[in-house]
Amino acid sequence: MSNKVEKVEAKPFLAMLLQYSRDNHYNHIVFNVRLNRNPAYTRQVLSISLKRISKKFGNDERAYATMTAEEGSQILALMNTLKEEMFANTAEKIIWQTDILTRSTQEFGYRQIRERDQYNNLEFEVLL
């Protein structure tokens, strides 16, 4: 048996997440990394949830995916790269271009909810 951690590929996952949220009219994607303090094992967990705030389609909030932070490290690295590019260009929004998306370009905002704390917890939001 292999002890190698299966990592989620960042670009296809993010493209799928953005497409799903767009198709179902979700306008907030919340990424949350928290330390799981289960006495049996201690690990960081990445939770991704979708939120819709809309008068036309109604309000809704649902969990999209949960994985260990180790498995989702490529997703967090991609989001960090996109965020750094946005701040480097002093832009208001992130513009991500890839052939994986059906519309090839996606524009979204970034908002930090909580900075890394002593337990390395982190929370940020993507605004579509």
Q: Is residue 2 part of a domain?
A: no
Q: What is the pLDDT of residues 11-43, one digit of tens each?
A: 999 999 999 999 999 999 999 999 877 666 778
Q: Is residue 4 part of a domain?
A: no
**pLDDT-above-90 percentage for the chain:** 66
pLDDT at position 3, please? Answer: 67
Closest CA to 70 of 6, 2, 1: 6
pTM comes to: 0.89
Q: Is residue 91 part of a domain?
A: yes
Q: Is residue 17 part of a domain?
A: yes
- Over the Cα atoms of the chain, what is R_g? 15
Alpha helices for the chain (secondary structure H) = 10-23, 73-88
Question: How far is 89 from 110, CA to CA, in rounded Å?
Answer: 14
Indicate whether 9 pLDDT > 80: yes
Q: Is residue 1 part of a domain?
A: no
Q: Is residue 94 part of a domain?
A: yes
Ordered DSSP codes for 59-78: -EEEEEEEEETTTTHHHHHH
Q: Is residue 36 part of a domain?
A: yes
Comparing 64 with 101, which gets the higher pLDDT?
A: 64
Indicate whether 119 pLDDT > 90: no
Strands (E), 22-59: 28-36, 43-52
Comparing 2 with 22, which gets the higher pLDDT?
A: 22
| Mean pLDDT confidence for 69-87 | 93
Range of the domain at 59: 10-127
How many separate domains does the chain show? 1
